[in-house]
Structure 1
Amino acid sequence: MSYISLIRPRWSDMDVYGHVNHANMVTLLEEARIPLLFGDAVRAGLTELPKGIVVVKLAVHYRSPIVVSDQDIRVEISLKDLKHASFTLGYRVHSGPAEADKVAVTAETVLAPFDTASERPRRLTEDERAFLEKGFADA
């Protein structure tokens, strides 16, 4: 199952070729996961998770350009792997808001919880692991 996020690219996301720039695509991926990992996590009582999550690894594969227009793009996010101290999210970015719109970008991020007080990585709690599993199973 996937968590669906609709994101609207901004005019400033474009490069000189008229499509979303690579660095801005990475920002759009981040914006797509924020509602789940920050908003939904806090509503579920997981106040430590949004205090510190760091990107450990990022891979982005471009299939076709995304052109900035006056519409959202659909980002489908799935939980690819869940370990005790990290989790991997997979992304399918469509060129428009509908599931039928062409998949223009696929990506993966490995994320790890981080304790900002001790400035060290930490393990996911059982509640956080359950939240991640449920967040994608119910999507």
Structure 2
Amino acid sequence: MARHIYACPMRWSDMDAFGHVNNVVFLRYLEEARIDFMFTQAAEAGAGEFAGGSVVARHEIDYKLPLVHRPTPVTIETWVTRIGGASVTVAYEVKDTDEDGVERVYVRASSVVVPYDLAAGRPRRISPVEREFLGRFLVSEELRTAA
């Protein structure tokens, strides 16, 4: 299974009064990873239509552990769990591995993304080129939840 890996920089302003990354900030982290995946990486693979317009129809987030600010980026792994005719479900894990090799998952999340024709003001179908790109990162939801 291929996953897109994004090293997300943390900012001092990401912390809340309790000394950990605020829950709303995680949405920004997911957005940064999704933009890198669906705009930058897709365009480099010849599937840059998503950059022309897309909207998020749904977010689902499970907060697993608090994340405190540090100078090093946090890792966000992104993959695809469903490709529909006019939407794609993207899954994420915000995590890192400590010096002893122990992995910590802070957030597991998913977003339903709809390609959008900005000029026409309506959703559009996923193109064959986009489908081929997304298919490289496709893993069934059953496999993800079994892990």
TM-score (norm 1): 0.90
Cα 1:92–1:5 change in 2 (3 A) is same
**Whole-angstrom CA distance in 1 between matches of 2:46 and 2:4:** 19
For residue 74 of structure 1, report the CA deviation from its aligned partner.
Answer: 1.0
Mapping for residues 116-127 of structure 1, pairs under 5 Å:
116-127=118-129
Q: Distance in 2 between matches of 1:34 and 1:101?
A: 25
Alignment-derived partner of residue 110 in structure 1: 112
| Structure 1 position 54, deviation (Å) | 0.6
Shift of 1:96: 5.5
Return 32-41 or 50-59, whichever deviates more.
Answer: 32-41
Corresponding position of 2:30: 29
1:48 and 1:107 map into 2 onto residues whose CA distance is 24
Q: Deviations over 1:28-73 (max 9, x none)?
A: 0110121221112222333422111110000111111111111111
Structure 2: 5+ residue stretches without partners: 139-147
Deviation at 1:78, TM superposition (A): 1.5
- Structure 2: how far apart are the matches of 1:48 and 1:93? 26
What is the match of residue 133 of structure 2? 131
Q: Which SS does the other structure have where 1:61 is aligned?
A: strand
Aligned length: 136
> For residues 40 and 18 of structure 1, what CA distance do their matches in structure 2 show?
33
Q: Which residue of 2 aligns with 1:71?
A: 72
For each residue in 1:4-38, what CA deviation from the matched residue of structure 2 results, as whole angstroms up to 9, or x when unmatched?
Answer: 11111111111111111111110001101212211
1:31-110 → structure 2 map (5 Å cutoff): 31-95=32-96, 100-110=102-112
Percentage of identical aligned residues: 38
CA distance in 1, matches of 2:102, 2:120: 45
Q: Summarize deviations over 1:86-138 as a string: whole Å, max 9, x none.
A: 0101111114588743001110100010000011001101111001112x26x
CA contact (8 A) 1:92 1:107 kept: yes
Residue 24 of structure 2 aligns to a residue in which SS? helix
